[in-house]
A and B are shown apart, each in its own frame.
Chain A
Amino acid sequence: MKVAIIKYNSGNVCSVQFALERIGISALVTDDAAELKSSDRVIFPGVGEASGAMNYLRNQNLDKLIVDLKQPVLGICLGMQLMCDFSEEGKTQCLGIFNQNVLKFSDTNKVPQIGWNTISNLNSTLFNKISEEEYMYFVHSYYVELGENTIANTNYGFTYSSAVEKNNFFGVQFHPEKSAEVGQLILKNFLSQ
């Protein structure tokens, strides 16, 4: 199976690459259009700031390319947020795949949220063999609101989307590549979509 990780200016690329190595997959890290289009699975990672990342994607023509991908695509953390409609971070128009917005956590909780939190109301094959209230590792200051594409939610003083799905696109706010064995299982589930 050919798995590609999208190379851009905001990736935590090697963490994802190493996590895939641990489950026996040697992934290609690339921003080449032909390579991405011909991959069986595409992972869109991301750590960093939304507006800078979107500008970079537009300049490299990766924005249209991602939206048009037909194979299963998994956005992680910022990657997932960039696949939504709009982000409050830098007031950025995003890729518009998921019909939901990205908002900033209010100061009633510590920001960023850093650490292990639970996921619940799991409603996707991405969560095969994953139980409700399983712990995943989160690091983020912005969150995706609940909406029609939500397939898992998490509580941080209120409930938000910790995973979304639409057609061939999946997004997770947590870091499966850093969430111990459970995270590895989610990556495996994505690869078997």
Chain B
Amino acid sequence: MLTKRIIPCLDIKDGRVVKGVNFENMRDAGDPIELVIQYSLSGADELVFLDISATNEKRKTLSDLVTKIARNINIPFTVGGGISSIDDVSLLLNSGADKISINSAAFKNPNLISDLSDRFGSQCIVVAIDTKFVRTDSFGEKDDWYVYLNGGKIKTEMKAIDWAEKIVAMGAGEILLTAMNNDGTKKGFANDITKCISEKVNVPIIASGGAGTMEHFRDAFLLGKADATLAASVFHYNEIDIKKLKEYLKKENISIRI
């Protein structure tokens, strides 16, 4: 039986790992390769690396880091952050990344998704959605989860559910769904929108944003119908031990690789 995945996320800036709280106030969280090896031995099912400082000049630095990671670990990993072209993707996959994640560039040019999935296969194309629940009027008629771009800085008029359906039709192989209202709060994942999208589209959904306790992970799988859960700070700062988390989830009758 296919198991639910636990995915630590490492935000990378200038070759260092950081994690934002509500996408701001970055804190330094250690050397990437040390953390990476530690995670691959701890029972993490996959890793995600988001380069939050990605600029063209820094691409080469990132691809060198990707190769270093690929040499050092024997579990799959995804790389994202500022990816906007077939060349970017080709470089990262050739450097050893298993999957790549695109976000704002896909929104600005949805054809990029089909171009990438035709060329590299949809199984390695993760589309990330940053979404925020917005109350737009006093009647609540337009209250919904909207798509945000550029690391959460720009609101769009697109609802997350509509965007999810569109990207899957274009060839996305997986969706990384980050609920900005929850991210950094440690109050739990946004299970409502996660469930809504997970039941609507037929690709795996990685829930992200809000992990604080082991129960939150359980709820993301049971209530949010997530296929995988992603978290950063609770793992980086050893607030939750991955082995203990997986044992807990197994006891809660969730299909987990131990």
Residues of A with Cβ closer than 8 Å to B? 12, 14-15, 18-19, 21-22, 47-49, 107, 110-118, 135, 137-141, 155-156, 175, 177-181, 183-184
**B40 — nearest CB in chain A belongs to which residue?**
A180
Assess whether B228 is in contact with A115, with CB atoms less than 8 Å apart: yes
Which residue of chain B lies nearest to A23 when distances are taken between CB atoms in the complex? B74
- Binary per-residue interface labels of chain B (114-139) against chain A in the complex, 1 for a CB within 8 Å, 0 otherwise: 00001011111000000000000000
Given known A-B contacts A47-B120, A48-B121, A139-B123, A114 and B70 have beta carbons under 8 A apart: no
24 A-B pairs with C-beta separation under 8 A: A14-B70, A15-B98, A18-B70, A18-B71, A22-B71, A47-B120, A47-B121, A48-B121, A49-B121, A111-B203, A112-B123, A114-B123, A115-B2, A115-B3, A115-B4, A115-B45, A115-B227, A116-B2, A116-B3, A135-B257, A178-B76, A178-B98, A180-B40, A180-B74
Chain B nearest CB: distance from A9 CB in Å?
Answer: 10
Interfacial chain A residues near B124, Cβ < 8 Å: 47, 139
**Bound complex: CA A112 to CA B173 (Å):** 7
**CB atoms of B98 and A116 under 8 A apart:** no
* Most chain B CB inside 10 Å of its own CB: which residue of A107, A114, A175: A114
B95 at the interface (CB under 8 A from A): yes
* Interface positions of B from 14 to 67, Cβ below 8 Å from A: 40, 45-46, 67
Q: Is B196 in contact with chain A by the CB < 8 A criterion?
A: no
B94 contacts the other chain (CB 8 A): yes
Q: A12-B98, A180-B74, A184-B74 are in contact. Are A115 and B5 (CB under 8 A)?
A: yes
Name the B residues within 8 Å of A118 (CB-CB). Answer: 1
Q: In the assembled complex, which residues on chain A have CB atoms less than 8 Å from the CB atom of B2? A: 113, 115-117, 138, 156
Chain B nearest CB, measured from A105 CB (Å): 10
B74 x A114 contact (CB < 8 A): no
Tell me whether B75 is interfacial, beta carbon within 8 Å. Answer: yes
Chain B interface, number of residues (Cβ within 8 angstroms): 33
Residue of chain B at shortest CB distance from A177: B74
Chain B, residue nearest A187 (CB) = B74
Q: How far is the CA of A140 from the CA of B40 in the complex (A)?
A: 22
Q: Find chain B residues with CB under 8 A from A183 CB.
A: 74
User: A177–B75 Cα gap in the complex (Å)?
Assistant: 8
Q: Does B96 contact A (CB under 8 A)?
A: yes
Q: Is the CB of B74 within 8 A of A19?
A: yes
Residue of B nearest to A183 (CB): B74
Residues of B within 8 Å of A180, CB to CB, are: 40, 74-75
Q: A116-B5, A156-B2 are in contact. List 15 more A-B contacts (CB 8 A).
A: A14-B94, A15-B98, A22-B74, A47-B123, A49-B118, A110-B204, A115-B45, A115-B46, A115-B204, A117-B3, A138-B2, A139-B123, A155-B1, A175-B76, A183-B74
Given contacts A14-B94, A15-B96, contact A110 B202 (CB under 8 A): yes
Report the bound CA distance from A111 to B173 in whole Å: 8
Query: Which of A116, A117, A178, A179: most chain B CB closer than 10 A?
Result: A116
Smallest beta-carbon distance A54→chain B, Å: 14
Report the separation of the CA atoms of residues A7 and B76 in the bound assembly, to the nearest whole angstrom: 21
State in angstroms the CA–CA spacing of A107 and B173 once bound together. 14
A140 contacts B3, C-beta separation under 8 Å = no
Bound: A112/B168 CA distance, A: 11
CB distance from A111 to the nearest CB of B (A): 6
Considering only CB atoms, which chain A residue lies closest to B97 in the complex? A15
- Closest Cβ–Cβ distance, residue A134 to chain B (whole Å): 10
